[in-house]
Structure 1
Amino acid sequence: MSGTRPRPTSTPRRPVSPRFFGSELLLLFGRRRNWAGLAVLAAVPLIIAVASKVTDSGSGGGPNFFSGITSNGLFVALAALTVELPLFLPLAVSAISGDAIAGEANQGTLRALLTVPVRRSRLLAVKYAGIVVFALASTLLVAVVGAVAGLALFGGGPLLLLSGVEVGFGAGLWRLLLVCCYIAFCLATLGAVGLFVSTLTEQPIGATIATMIVAITSQILNNIPQLDWLHPYLLSHYWLAFGDLLRSPISFESITPGLWLGTGYILVFLAAAWARFAGRDVTS
């Protein structure tokens, strides 16, 4: 009599539940240090608005966003985003992304997460989704605080675009929202780099510093004329291209390659994070 092999019983997959993502968002926005970081981000547009009101220097020379503050309060939001994009916003995203995996390993909770069980790919996906949400939330926070403070101190009305064309107040808000979305996408690109770095270490501070070094190095190289051949491939090269969204009609000459470059960075570093994390022995 020939025996038949018993069919292996497959472990049923857990249905995808939004509760894990919800708990990740509660973790991100429930920590006091993250609230402190968001408070610093929100303070910058307030300082810009009050300083412009007190000194009344907005009518002088300088960047277009600053020179237009006294004529329309929405420029406070644009000026604040321009000021914070090189350092403060990347620092906030670097801290969140660097802490994503390394922080769990450092606190000894990573092993517990993976024995729930939670698939590693799903864990990475949830962590990166949280980074994207935080990037968008921090960008919107700067814009909203700047817009509210600017409108309260200088009023609103038609918005003068960089191309010299005036658009209505509603259209101006729509352009500001597009700017926020583009900047959040650029920050999410940096967040993908930070998530990969976070899989390499158990020290979240080290991962944060390494991610910021990548961002700062990219900006330094982007300002060296002799390396103009390298500029289109640098992480931060198209960050300030959001100014093209404030033209009439909207120019996609820099926006489109910026989106393609950012997408490439996201795909490459998320794949690298998965390759590293999938084969990693988790001991903490």
Structure 2
Amino acid sequence: MSTTAERPAPARARRALPLSAEIRRQLSRRRTVVVFAVLAALPLVLLAAFWLGSSDATSAQRGFVDLAQDSGANLVVFALFAATGFLLVVVVALFAGDPVPSEASWSSLRYLLTAPVRRERLLRQKLVAAGLFSLAALVFLPVWTLLVGGLAYGWGPYVGPTGDQLAYPLVVARLGVVVVYLALSLSVVGAFAFLLGTLTDAPLAAVGGAVVLWIVCAILDQITALGGLRQALPGHFAFAWADALAPTVDWSGMAQGALWSVGYSVVCVGVATWRFLRKDVTS
């Protein structure tokens, strides 16, 4: 009889902490609102900067910033170019590195694990929610910027630095490729932040640690003496998404960047799971 009475516990553990509850929990967080508010403000800040500045560029080779006012699509590309190096890194690190240590800092982690919630389920729900919010941010930025840029600069074709043009709907499809690549490229940031989040009770340490890793790798990437070793550094192929905006897409850079990032991510998530399953959360 005692064995039969104890059987429902694993079933309750499997049903505890549904993904919808975790998503609602993260939606109610102030940092989620702040992140999307910053992303919403970015294209507006760019419009104000271009309006206040001068447009007297005379260089024969025009870059993303020089072309930003040509159309809404061009403004999207420049916004992504400006955000890839730091802003999007912070966003992904925040969504992935904050959930687990926040529970620990609020002293609710032990409660969740005795609810009961299996440790691997807790990690999976936190990680899936972090991935969904990161992807939502990566989609929101270009979609919102395209709307703002289209209203401000028109709905003309995308004009590349070499003068090549991409008309709608082709440019929208290429921007979709860019978003997918950014999600894969930045997965290493999220995975490392998630790993740090299972090792510390301080959310800022997990988020900051992932951002510092990206910055250090960016510095090392400037050392040409490292040669081919630089390709293994996270962030070396961070801007390879620009190849998706050429008339003929060169997939080599994006393929290498995605493989390195996914490989690092699998290792980081694996270590995080192994460590958390053995961690003493009652101390």
Give me the TM-score of the superposition, normalised by structure 2. 0.89
**2:39 is the counterpart of 1:41:** yes
Residue 154 (structure 2) aligns with: 155
Output the CA distance in 1 between the equivalents of 2:266 and 2:12: 26
Residues 74 and 159 of structure 2 are in contact (CA less than 8 Å); yes or no, is this contact kept in structure 1?
A: no
Q: 1:225 to 1:148 in 2, by over 3 A?
A: same
Output the CA distance in 1 between the equivalents of 2:86 and 2:116: 38
Output the CA distance in 1 between the equivalents of 2:143 and 2:22: 24
Residues 79 and 145 of structure 2 are in contact (CA less than 8 Å); yes or no, is this contact kept in structure 1?
A: yes
- Structure 2: stretches of 5+ with no match in the other structure: none
Q: 1:78 to 1:60 in 2, by over 3 A?
A: farther
| Cα drift, residue 160 of structure 1 | 2.8
Output the CA distance in 1 between the equivalents of 2:204 and 2:166: 45
Residue 228 (structure 1) aligns with: 227
Output the CA distance in 2 between the equivalents of 1:248 and 1:179: 14
Residue 125 (structure 2) aligns with: 126
Q: Deviations over 1:191-235 (max 9, x none)?
A: 111110001111111112211111111111112222233211111
Count of residue pairs brought into register by the alignment = 279
The one-letter amino acid paired with 1:26 is R
Residues 60 and 67 of structure 1 are in contact (CA less than 8 Å); yes or no, is this contact kept in structure 2?
A: no
Q: 1:272 to 1:34 in 2, by over 3 A?
A: same
Residue 21 (structure 1) aligns with: 19
Residue 141 (structure 1) aligns with: 140
Q: Which runs of 4+ in 1 moved over 6 A?
A: none
The one-letter amino acid paired with 2:201 is E
Residue 63 (structure 2) aligns with: 64
| Cα drift, residue 60 of structure 1 | 4.6
Residue 173 (structure 2) aligns with: 174
Residues 53 and 153 of structure 1 are in contact (CA less than 8 Å); yes or no, is this contact kept in structure 2?
A: no
Residue 28 (structure 2) aligns with: 30
| Cα drift, residue 161 of structure 1 | 4.2
Output the CA distance in 2 between the equivalents of 1:77 and 1:278: 42
Output the CA distance in 2 between the equivalents of 1:211 and 1:188: 11
Q: Secondary structure at the match of 2:249?
A: coil
**2:75 is the counterpart of 1:100:** no
Q: 1:19 to 1:77 in 2, by over 3 A?
A: farther
Residues 135 and 188 of structure 1 are in contact (CA less than 8 Å); yes or no, is this contact kept in structure 2?
A: no
The one-letter amino acid paired with 1:37 is V
Q: 1:154 to 1:121 in 2, by over 3 A?
A: same
Q: 1:257 to 1:58 in 2, by over 3 A?
A: farther
Residues 14 and 117 of structure 2 are in contact (CA less than 8 Å); yes or no, is this contact kept in structure 1?
A: no
Residue 50 (structure 1) aligns with: 48
Output the CA distance in 2 between the equivalents of 1:63 and 1:26: 44
The one-letter amino acid paired with 2:280 is D
| Cα drift, residue 14 of structure 1 | 4.8
| Cα drift, residue 48 of structure 1 | 1.4
Residues 13 and 117 of structure 2 are in contact (CA less than 8 Å); yes or no, is this contact kept in structure 1?
A: no
**2:278 is the counterpart of 1:279:** yes
Residues 69 and 154 of structure 1 are in contact (CA less than 8 Å); yes or no, is this contact kept in structure 2?
A: no
| Cα drift, residue 16 of structure 1 | 5.7
Q: Deviations over 1:43-97 (max 9, x none)?
A: 2221112322443528554762222223221111111111111111111222222
Q: Secondary structure at the match of 2:76?
A: helix
Superposition RMSD in Å: 2.5
Residue 201 (structure 1) aligns with: 200
Residues 222 and 231 of structure 1 are in contact (CA less than 8 Å); yes or no, is this contact kept in structure 2?
A: yes
Output the CA distance in 1 between the equivalents of 2:39 and 2:205: 22
